[in-house]
Amino acid sequence: MGREMSVQSEISNKLQAFFSPSHLDVVNESHMHNVPPNSETHFNVVVVAAIFDGKRSVARHQMIYKLLAEEIAGPVHALALHTYTVTEWQERNASVPVSPDCLGGSQ
């Protein structure tokens, strides 16, 4: 019997295989939200890849949504995407915006 792979690992593996990124971060931020312990529902993703050259942000995000359609239709509730070309990543000094704390949906 095989062990199921975590949602975070599935996302990482798919992004790595498709984009061959020079930098990839897939961070499970579910603990910052009003979800049960050990949930895998909220992710912050950084992808730096040459394939993004000449593509606008919306097109980059659409590529990821298509690739991760199964996860988005299932366990993933929120996906913060930060997509950069290698040059853009260097210009940003390899930094991304920090995710805000969850307000619990009440505010």
Position 1 pLDDT exceeds 70: no
Query: What is this structure's pTM?
Result: 0.85
Q: Is residue 100 part of a domain?
A: no
pLDDT band at 102 (very low <50, low <70, confident <90, very high): low
Q: Is residue 105 part of a domain?
A: no
Q: Is residue 99 part of a domain?
A: no
Q: Is residue 15 part of a domain?
A: yes
Q: Is residue 80 part of a domain?
A: yes
Exposed e or buried b for every residue in 20-48, given b needs 16+ CB within 10 A? ebeebebebebeebeeeeeebbbbbbbbb
Query: Which stretch of 17-26, 32-41, 80-89 has the lowest confidence by average pLDDT?
Result: 32-41
Q: Mean pLDDT throughout 56-68? A: 98
Q: Is residue 51 part of a domain?
A: yes
> For residue 41, what is the domain's CATH number?
3.30.300.90
* Residue 29 structural domain: 7-91
